[in-house]
Amino acid sequence: MGNRTPLYDEHLAADGKVIDFAGWDMPINYGSQVSEHHTVRNDAGMFDVSHMTVVDLEGEHVRDFLRYLLANDVNRLKDRGKALYSCMLNEAGGVIDDLIVYYLDDNYFRMVVNAGTRDKDIAWLEQQAAAFSVTVTVTEHPELAMIAVQGPNARARVLGVLDADARAIAEPLKPFFGAFAGDWFIARTGYTGEDGFEVVLPAAAAVTFWQQLRAAGVAPTGLGARDTLRLEAGMNLYGSDMDESITPLEAGLTWTVAWEPQDRDFIGRSALEKQRSAGARNKLVGLLLEGKGVLRNHQKVVVENNGEGEITSGSFSPTLQRAIAFARVPKETGEHCQVEIRGKLLPARVVKPPFVRNGEARIEI
């Protein structure tokens, strides 16, 4: 038996198929992953993401600490509540984790990190924070729960069940901003390519909120649909598309590295600059299978005259009705390649993610 979120019994009551996910008993689906995927794209679905970890960082030098810790630059955060996506790197430039950090006060930032990397993330944070006298506070299960509500109707459904005070905080939030509403933290962020909220709330309030959302027409959605939604949206998955052996330059995340100002030192910068000067040998691209078939993780990608690569994330896209993938391929790869599926080489087109955003195709089919 793994760790269980406060919503575990709700998943069972909704016929959720529970699997082990990073040591947690989590629902992969509630009967139909494809149906859940379409519900998020066309209406509103909710995910139990209480397995993720909330880390509060406080201190007079917390901004300096984060400017050293992260490849992206928190000095870009000028307005309170604004969020920033970044990678946290090791000295070799490899990705320890990808995360979101919120600027809440000059002495207070909040970070949300992945469940599968929890222990090493916290150890790394505490190790690096000591020199800056920053306090690292980890608050998670059983104290907190986290529910993500995503889809074109997600915000309206959430606002409809919040009390007046929380609604007054949540309604004006701009994309990629978060704010406290009492002891709830509501952020207009997500991992699906759709609008919505991610709500961090006391564990004792999670079941009631979940049930209120269900009554309002929000469908429980499992981690299976979450994965196909994020892939369509062009969002990386830690452990598949990058890890400690892969730099942001090889993971399609160069845009998350703030090179300026040049005098800002951050962990891994020297290694990244060397790789940038030499040129990364590989790059992460999107693939669209030209014919029938399904693209899966670890399938071989053959690039004529340029070597081989590998699919890092692959699946059938319910929105596009085509097989799509991320693949790490030689940097010389052009517009076409082949994927080995069951001993046969099938043609695929190289495309630039995202595949789908806000319910609409972003690539030519």
Confidence of residue 209 (pLDDT cuts 50, 70, 90): very high
**Using CA atoms, how far apart are residues 140 and 55, in angstroms rounded to an integer?**
8
Out of 232, 263, 295, a domain closes at 232
Tally of domains within the chain: 3
Query: What percentage of the chain carries pLDDT values higher than 70?
Result: 100
Looking at the predicted structure, is the pLDDT value of residue 294 above 90?
Answer: yes
Among 165, 171, 151, 157, smallest CA distance to 209 is for 157
In a domain, 132, yes or no: yes
Q: For residue 283, what is the enclosing H or E element?
A: strand 282-289
Do 75 and 15 fall into the same domain?
no
In a domain, 162, yes or no: yes
pLDDT of residue 365: 84
pLDDT of residue 69: 98
Exposed/middle/buried for residue 239 (C-beta within 10 Å: 0-12, 13-18, 19+)? middle
In a domain, 109, yes or no: yes
Confidence of residue 1 (pLDDT cuts 50, 70, 90): confident
- Collapsing DSSP to helix, strand or coil, 75 comes out as helix
Mean pLDDT, residues 106-113 taken together: 98
Do 43 and 156 fall into the same domain?
yes
Do 74 and 104 fall into the same domain?
yes
In a domain, 263, yes or no: no
* Interval 160-204: pLDDT, tens: 999 999 999 999 999 999 999 999 999 999 999 999 999 999 999
Instruction: Say which amino acid occupies 4.
Output: R
Do 168 and 30 fall into the same domain?
yes
Do 312 and 360 fall into the same domain?
yes
Do 194 and 67 fall into the same domain?
no
**Using CA atoms, how far apart are residues 206 and 212, in angstroms rounded to an integer?**
10
Query: Would the pTM count as exceeding 0.95?
Result: yes
Mean pLDDT, residues 300-320 taken together: 97
In a domain, 354, yes or no: yes
Looking at the predicted structure, is the pLDDT value of residue 49 above 90?
Answer: yes
Q: How far is CA 197 from CA 155, 200, 204, 259, 309, in A?
A: 7, 10, 19, 30, 36
pLDDT of residue 362: 93
Looking at the predicted structure, is the pLDDT value of residue 345 above 90?
Answer: yes
Out of 139, 167, 199, a domain closes at 139
When the pLDDT of each residue in the chain is averaged and rounded to a whole number, the result is: 97
Query: What percentage of the chain carries pLDDT values higher than 90?
Result: 97
**Using CA atoms, how far apart are residues 227 and 359, in angstroms rounded to an integer?**
15
* Interval 255-289: pLDDT, tens: 999 999 999 999 999 999 999 999 999 999 999 99
In a domain, 244, yes or no: no
Do 178 and 29 fall into the same domain?
yes
Do 68 and 112 fall into the same domain?
yes
Do 125 and 170 fall into the same domain?
no
CB 7 within 8 A of CB 50: yes
pLDDT of residue 142: 85
In a domain, 200, yes or no: yes
CATH of residue 321's domain is 2.40.30.110
pLDDT of residue 231: 98
Mean pLDDT, residues 61-75 taken together: 98
CATH of residue 134's domain is 3.30.70.1400
Structural domain that includes position 191: 8-48+143-232
Confidence of residue 207 (pLDDT cuts 50, 70, 90): very high
Out of 112, 139, 166, a domain closes at 139
Do 194 and 330 fall into the same domain?
no
**Using CA atoms, how far apart are residues 214 and 220, in angstroms rounded to an integer?**
7
Do 101 and 151 fall into the same domain?
no
| Helical spans, DSSP H, in the chain | 8-13, 33-42, 62-69, 118-129, 154-161, 164-170, 203-215, 223-232, 269-278
* Interval 21-40: pLDDT, tens: 999 999 999 999 999 999 99
> Residue written as tokens 């892939």?
231
* Interval 125-166: pLDDT, tens: 999 999 999 999 998 778 999 999 999 999 999 999 999 999
Retrieve residue 249's tokens: 């330059």
In a domain, 216, yes or no: yes
Do 104 and 227 fall into the same domain?
no
CATH of residue 208's domain is 3.30.1360.120
